């Protein structure tokens, strides 16, 4: 269950394992914490400190989204698990240049392999022709082959950036002009598609963050992303293979009714945002999608892989990373 707090006159309280969402002059909504999987908060509602403590203790990630301004989202969760052997292994591998680069290649290869997924709704829902999609996949395959000769993380990120640019350029050509999408932009997003991408990536990142800290990994130390103060490089690393599933979701969701001006608003300082009236539909669709999250990367492409929950797939990805760090070489 996802709890969305979207009214500034709301008050969040905790009562015996239950979150109570109160509004002045309105009814109280009650949500048992043991049934919550994600809490999303817009703006500045009042909340008892016990709310954040209980959510953290239960391992429920909370995303604090700004309503105005260019501030990014904040993610609240539990503290690092005390699995020192795994964290020590992570730091040891990060300090070994050759092994760190191999692990970065392994992470990036999974992201590149996942580009097949969002092409499905682009063809089915938005009329992209086979030639254009095949061209992107040929570039993807060339990029995958080039990973083997990359000698630094900067080279790897450069290869990834070229393919990402090609993907968003393809979207700009194939999406209806009414969407106003000309390429990826953010902080703030300038059009509805970028607004939805940013919101989806933020929600995904919150769940990956929860998985990382629950497993005992150091969220600040990655293999593909450089450690930078204030940036959770390991969370970014483990988010990469799942991003294409967010693109798949957005492309599928917008095709239901098409662009409606009332569903979005734009301000110079805030960029483009999903309107308050449209948010419930988005979160309802997102809640269903995360319970039937498609496998972007299949370990055995010939096998029939039924969709599973996002949380289960994140745990599986972390276990594969754990195994990759333990082996002499990262798996292909």
Binding residues for Mn(2+): 160, 225, 240
The Cα 3–Cα 19 span in angstroms is 10
Beta bridge partners of 63: 40, 75
> What is the rounded distance in angstroms from the CA atom of residue 30 to the CA atom of residue 174?
44
Residue of 101, 223, 243 whose CA lies nearest to 168: 243
Q: Considering just the CA atoms, what is the radius of gyration of the chain in Å?
A: 20
> Closest by alpha carbon to 208, among 195, 193, 219?
219
Measured CA to CA, the distance from residue 311 to residue 36 in angstroms comes to: 13
Residues 6+ apart with CB under 8 A from 288: none
Q: Rounded to the nearest 10 degrees, how much is the dihedral formed by the CA atoms of 269, 274, 277, 280? A: -140
3-state SS class at 3:
strand
Element containing residue 299 per DSSP (H, E):
none
Tally of helices (H runs) and strands (E runs) in the chain: 11, 10
CA atoms of 190 and 58, how far apart (whole Å): 36
Q: What is the crossing angle of helices 130-147 and 116-126, to 10°?
A: 170
Residue/partner pairs of 35-38 with CB below 8 Å, 24 or more apart: 35/1, 36/1, 36/2, 36/3, 36/60, 37/1, 37/2, 37/290, 37/311, 38/2, 38/3, 38/62, 38/63, 38/203, 38/206, 38/207, 38/290
Sorted by sequence, the CB contacts under 8 Å of residue 298 that are 6+ apart come out as 305
Would you list which residues are annotated within the binding site? 160, 225, 240
């Amino acid at each position: 269950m996802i709890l969305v707090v979207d009214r500034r006159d709301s008050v969040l309280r905790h009562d015996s394992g239950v979150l109570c969402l109160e509004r002045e002059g309105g009814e109280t909504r009650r949500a048992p914490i043991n049934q919550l999987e994600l809490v999303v908060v817009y703006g500045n509602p009042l909340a008892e400190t016990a709310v954040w403590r209980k959510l953290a203790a239960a391992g429920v990630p909370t995303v604090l989204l700004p309503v105005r301004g260019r501030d990014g989202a904040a993610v609240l969760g539990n503290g690092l698990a005390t699995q020192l052997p795994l964290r020590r292994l992570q730091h040891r591998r990060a300090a070994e240049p050759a092994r760190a680069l191999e692990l970065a290649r392994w992470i990036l290869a999974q992201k590149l392999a996942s580009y097949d997924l969002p092409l499905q709704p682009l063809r089915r829902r938005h009329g992209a022709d086979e030639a254009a999609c095949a061209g992107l996949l040929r570039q993807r395959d060339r990029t995958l082959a080039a990973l083997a000769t990359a000698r630094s993380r900067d080279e790897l990120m450069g290869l990834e950036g070229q393919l990402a640019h090609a993907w968003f350029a393809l979207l700009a050509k194939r999406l209806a002009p009414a969407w106003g999408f000309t390429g990826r932009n953010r902080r703030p997003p300038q059009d509805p598609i970028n607004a939805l991408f940013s919101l989806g990536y933020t929600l995904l990142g919150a769940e990956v963050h929860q998985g990382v800290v629950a497993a005992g990994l150091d969220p600040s130390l990655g293999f593909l992303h450089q450690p930078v103060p204030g940036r959770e490089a390991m969370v970014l690393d483990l988010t990469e293979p799942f991003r294409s599933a967010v693109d798949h979701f957005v492309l599928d969701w917008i095709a239901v009714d098409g662009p409606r001006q009332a569903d979005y608003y734009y301000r110079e300082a805030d960029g483009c945002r999903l309107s308050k009236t449209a948010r419930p539909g988005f979160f309802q669709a997102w809640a269903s999608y995360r319970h039937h999250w498609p496998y972007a990367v299949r370990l055995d492409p010939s096998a029939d892989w039924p969709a599973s929950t996002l949380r289960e797939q994140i745990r599986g990805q972390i276990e594969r990373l754990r195994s990759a760090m333990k082996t002499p070489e990262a798996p292909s």
